Amino acid sequence: MKAKAARSGFTLMEMIVALCLSAFVIIGVVGVATQMIRFHMESDAKNGVTSWNLLAMTYMNQEIQGSSTLYCPFDPSQASAHSGDPGCTATTSDVLSSCNNWSIQQSSVTGNGEINTSAGASVTAYYYCVTNVNSIPSLLRYCRTSLAAASAPPGCTGGFPVASACPYKPAPTCGAGNYVMVAQNIQRLNGLPYFTRADDVGGVRLRYTVGSSTATAQVPMPRFSIVDTKIGIGKSYTDKQD
């Protein structure tokens, strides 16, 4: 009697079952990997928004509060005093320009034009504007000061004469020259200008978002931060010229 030949290999049914099981495993692995990548991208977006928002507010809180004159935006009743100011459009503006140790209001008393409020004190001018950098709308900070370059605050160009330190505007336009990027992917809040004069606090109102509010396939839950706050400067509430 002949021995039955041993069977080798797999039957078609066994291969189909194996392929089905493998497919389930691969689908599960891909699903987990996709979720991990998505979580990582959302986490990066959230961290980026938080970092940019913190950086912008750190700069502006310190520098606006330390200013004594808000050139831009200005009170419309004082348009003649601000006719030559950089990029100003009355009470609302996409430009924020200020100076410390400087006054327009006091000049109306002395008749000497804009003046250094403390004789011999250093004067520092700040200028914030929004423009595209590498196709991304970004908030840029410019700064120049009458202090010597070695004593100038970080990111400030030093050595300017006191008489010509204020106001300041980058030439030929926002995005040119030396600046510090303080926020990236900045958007208008409800289509409003970024900066509005706020005489109720003797300062300015900031309104914008940091980060995109538009969902994408990679980031279905976009991360963004809304900024809507007021910052007072070092002047009297009733002083509409400064």
CA 61, 67, 68: angle at the middle one, nearest 5?
145
Q: Is the pLDDT of residue 186 over 80?
A: yes
Across 174-184, average pLDDT:
87
Q: Is 99 helix (H, G, I), strand (E, B) or coil?
A: strand
25, 148 in Cβ contact below 8 A? no
Across 16-45, average pLDDT:
69
| Percentage with pLDDT > 90 across the chain | 3
Question: What local confidence, expressed as pLDDT, does residue 110 receive?
Answer: 47
Across 64-69, average pLDDT:
86
Question: What local confidence, expressed as pLDDT, does residue 168 receive?
Answer: 80
Question: What local confidence, expressed as pLDDT, does residue 219 receive?
Answer: 61
Question: What local confidence, expressed as pLDDT, does residue 111 receive?
Answer: 42
According to DSSP, residue 157 is labeled: B
Q: Which amino acid is at 213?
A: S
CA 177 to chain centroid, in Å, comes to: 18
Q: Is the pLDDT of residue 112 over 50?
A: no
Question: What local confidence, expressed as pLDDT, does residue 140 receive?
Answer: 92
Other beta carbons within 10 Å of 9: 6
* More confidently predicted of 130 and 163: 130
| Percentage with pLDDT > 70 across the chain | 69
- C-alpha distance from residue 111 to each of 74, 100, 104, 114, 218 (Å): 21, 20, 10, 9, 61
Question: What local confidence, expressed as pLDDT, does residue 39 receive?
Answer: 61
Q: Is the pLDDT of residue 95 over 50?
A: yes
124, 143 in Cβ contact below 8 A? yes
CA 102, 108, 109: angle at the middle one, nearest 5?
95
pTM: 0.74
Other beta carbons within 10 Å of 71: 30
- C-alpha distance from residue 98 to each of 12, 26, 103, 217 (Å): 80, 60, 10, 42
According to DSSP, residue 209 is labeled: E
155, 168 in Cβ contact below 8 A? no
